[in-house]
Structure 1
């Protein structure tokens, strides 16, 4: 149910009366819990949050979050414990046992089939159809999934252990688990039960060979590493040990040269195991630090300073990310670039960051002789960076590629009933062709095509409420197909999707903001050219400013855009609209329709 991202509707602190009601509901649903255990789960003073979300299929779900971990979720008025709760109280629910390899399928959204259930010698736990049940793996009693059984334990045995056994609602490593601290299951080993399962679990199918080799008898817990692509909760920011990181890379390189091939392979395996044992947050902190050092050593020059912090991240650090990995500060312990750079400044004295203009921070100084920076050894090439020369000067820059822009429309609350069959809830972004297909399917499914004229569609109550004005309710009984599609798009909110090469697509509200070029007068009737909205297309204002300075040999400055904290506008002396247009069209390949103000270029023969 939570294998895909969900949308958070609200996140509030629970009220005192609701806290007491929750404790009562938990006690009723799970009578095996003692009063002390109930007090631990729903304490009187600790902050307990109620988070309401919409799952990717549209189901409304409520989470109860304690100490940043979801402990229960409420679905269709029924409470279910999360894996975080079951790791503390593993006896809370009856559990079906399966093989570790099956967990990979469950995480992907599959339900538990009975052929994959391991039947111990003592038999299956006593459950009735619809009961809440947990799933464990051989060798560890820590539950890894929660769901509802589709039949009683007696019916399972009578069926010959065939068919679906449990509808899975929540698993370790899904999005609900990722909403917490992303901890891994504890090892609750039961060797005698494991041996019994291996001896009598003939229903394990193809996984029997793996079990007989005794891999799970050691009770090593879950063999799957935690995924990296899911958001994290806030944690206290701490700076990693930079010296250990740089020395580790240097020692690894030197060790590979000195040692034989066999020893090198063993060391590499140990390093991979150690790397996988770290939490995704620690791995992202390490990647962030590596990209920071590589950017300072291979890209940034003294002549580039002062350098906007946003530019440093976008054009320098991101391009230094190793191939196959993605740098995402939100998944680190810092959450924000400003906090990371503050740590580098205050605790390590590597850089100095100042706010040169209101709301815009820049790196103004780098300690190139810092021992930690000098001792850092780069062991990988910089991602997809192209280290050729460029007009802006200053190190190797990432070649710019314009984003692929797709016009989309988001579903409004009024149109939600029309898109319900297509699983598109309020706020979902849909392409026009998909809108057309959804409306066509809706009309055909409800047999609304006019029998006498196939070009017309009969208006049912839902189409009437969604597409017609109140004054048209009694007047219009049919609409042409084109009019039907036009009215639907007209009732939706326009949005757009930006797809930058090598990055996940981003959907933004409203139409695309074009790059705005304007000519203004300053003191003594001097003309200046002002360029706005470069960031919308992933362009760095400082790089554009440097390129224009090189082209027209005129001074250019950066100013904070009024009313925006993360936008910067470029101002260059004179009417340079023609040069700006050539730069954007010929060098950056921005489509002409997304550039506004090209008509303000000086006419031939007139003084610029």
Structure 2
């Protein structure tokens, strides 16, 4: 549509109210849910302890940055060069220059995202996949034909209905949208032999909307990959992880049999990627037999139990029973294998999955297991007195290899060695301090700009009473007589019932007066600061407490992409934790796929880590606990629970 340069009139800034209205229209058109406030809790000082979370404002800013400008445009569309008019919306995401982010055509009020918006908002539209040759045709102005589509293993996105806005990516950079259009048919329901036009093109990387720049610099190059968009292989990778751990079937093809491996190779071929180098490397290694892999798994289990019994003398020797299949594989088996090699994984055993492996341990009378609802098998108990465990001789464990993989969405940076993760073993201290309002200065506290701890404020009140002995009620030492300062500046700050009673009595209990000062944010404005290791507020003048409630790490358990349960982790940055560095550790400990992407609705650079399954226990103990995050700083939001009837 914008193959030729459109005629764009002068830009004019949108009012804040107009921008918010447009952002809300986008949220409605693209089914972006409004964030739901969580029930407020309180900290030890009695202050609200809600955590920083995505808000309606942050979602609006992610879609339409502040400020946003608009301008009318005219162009032609289609083979008949039909005149078309509409509106473009220009804005700049943080750290970038102004670009055309949205456009609207004719009488259709719906806003269409440009590739710049899609690169910043993963998952906004359905993403379809084609070969790179097809991408080149699309960039030439061609429409998208159904036979050119590559259907991912998980199927087409259910949102790709007739008339919906869709994006297209090439098979090599399958997480980077390059083309935007509207679907001509219900793509989600396409059969095995699709024909005809699937979508009509509106905009693409390389057209005149992409090339527009306020500084006439031309278009901005696309990133190599973007976290948050699902690639062609995403569904298959998750299914493989599921089969590794939770597969419930009893057939020979269970846990990644012939049919699944065939699908994997087909998709890799469609994706233009080969595993030639990896295959060559594996051929150079000694490929173990199935029995050798089985024996290695049994030995790893015995090693894990023997080691736990040695380090934790009291039963259950540090194990949190019942033991989940994911914990068994990631925390007991994998760290204790003789060989850290791709050949030594659950799919290479004769059991194929964790369920059958647990059944084997039960049959060997090493554990007692139970099948739960949904087909999951857990370990209820371990026979710690079994002779195999008592007589087990530990063997040297190999040092794990650190894979060099690209972690960032922009491409290029390599995963760091876990040893360079500075958050491991850190000690965190949350300090709550207060700033005094003008009502307390200078009678009680000396400065409005200085920060005070609750103890300092209590001491200041005690000193104030000592300096004014006439305030003490001689018959009731615990009570303080009211003077104009206490009556007007402290008790007069609001009209509560307790204040009215104290004013009527002409006196107030010392402890009540102290709590009254600390709990009224009109008198003492709460701030917080998170101190790391040896940091102190007094020794480092560069540390600045922040207003509002302390931060929290949010663990959101929800279903995404259908019935797949995932755990999303947000708010790590406030605790000096790099989300990119914990992804490999999460993937290993949870024995499931993990990804890092921009937090939807969060500030640019605020990341969210997603890991497959309900992994709250592993994350709290194995990930956050080792990094100094206390349980009271973690908030779990379980969206998979069914709401009870009112």
TM-score, normalised via structure 1 length: 0.33
* RCO higher in structure (CA 8 A, sep ≥6): 2
More helix by percentage: 1
TM-score, normalised via structure 2 length: 0.31
